[in-house]
Homo-oligomer: A and B are copies of this chain.
């Protein structure tokens, strides 16, 4: 029951865990989100039950994997959001960062965006915190926080910031998803168009004359 020893074992376990996650990462990147536990175990050079000992169930592995990428992506986004620049510039650079990320690794992106299966908490009592929230929520909350920190929205600012956070993230996500599938324009054009939308160009534009139905 020596503390140092337990720490030692913990360290070893954590290393294994990281190796397994990297193997899982490789498989997901190769086979897409429907990668089987068997395949992941094989890639890691071991067998299924070990994965289950480490992550509880597939949801646990999903969550752990998602957390890695989500943390990384959120770090980049926060950097872009917090840059000492004009707001419009910050918005554009954030969009740019996000789109570049999903363009660079579409497989990972597809994996992250899956609600997939509804997991119920780990029974093994692992240290998995409640990070089962599917990326979009976390991005929305983060953005909401930044908005509330930096933009003056008067009373109700918190509420408004959260709505906007989730809304803007959703806009980014849907547009990015569509763009990634069809590639109808360059990344820069997409960024510009979205920023224009957020800048109220929809309200400013005039009605088109002679449309169908008056």
Taking Cβ atoms with an 8 Å cutoff, the residues of A that contact B are 32-34, 82, 84, 87-88, 113-118, 136-137, 140, 149-153, 159-160, 162-164, 166-175, 177-179, 184-185, 189-190, 193-194, 196-209, 211-214
Tallying the copies of this chain within the complex gives 2
Q: Are A198 and B202 in contact (CB under 8 A)?
A: yes
Which chain B residues border A149 with CB–CB below 8 Å? 208, 211-212
Complex Cα spacing A199 to B202, Å: 7
Nearest-Cβ distance from residue A159 to partner chain B, whole angstroms: 6
Q: Are A175 and B163 in contact (CB under 8 A)?
A: yes
Q: Are A118 and B32 in contact (CB under 8 A)?
A: yes
Q: Are A207 and B175 in contact (CB under 8 A)?
A: no
Nearest-Cβ distance from residue A186 to partner chain B, whole angstroms: 11
Q: Are B166 and A197 in contact (CB under 8 A)?
A: no
Question: Could you jot down 9 A-B contacts, CB within 8 Å?
Answer: A149-B208, A153-B205, A159-B185, A163-B193, A164-B202, A168-B171, A170-B175, A200-B200, A200-B201
- The residue of chain B having its C-beta at the shortest distance from the C-beta of A158 within the complex is B184
- The residue of chain B having its C-beta at the shortest distance from the C-beta of A91 within the complex is B202
Which chain B residues border A136 with CB–CB below 8 Å? 174, 177
A205: contacting residue among B152, B163, B211, CB under 8 A = B152
Complex Cα spacing A159 to B179, Å: 11
Complex Cα spacing A46 to B187, Å: 51
Q: Are A205 and B175 in contact (CB under 8 A)?
A: no
Which among A34, A159, A166, A169 has the highest number of chain B CB atoms within 10 Å?
A166
Nearest-Cβ distance from residue A83 to partner chain B, whole angstroms: 10
Q: Are B203 and A88 in contact (CB under 8 A)?
A: yes
Complex Cα spacing A159 to B182, Å: 12
Which chain B residues border A177 with CB–CB below 8 Å? 136, 166, 170
Complex Cα spacing A209 to B207, Å: 38
Q: Are A174 and B169 in contact (CB under 8 A)?
A: yes
A211: contacting residue among B150, B172, B173, B175, CB under 8 A = B150
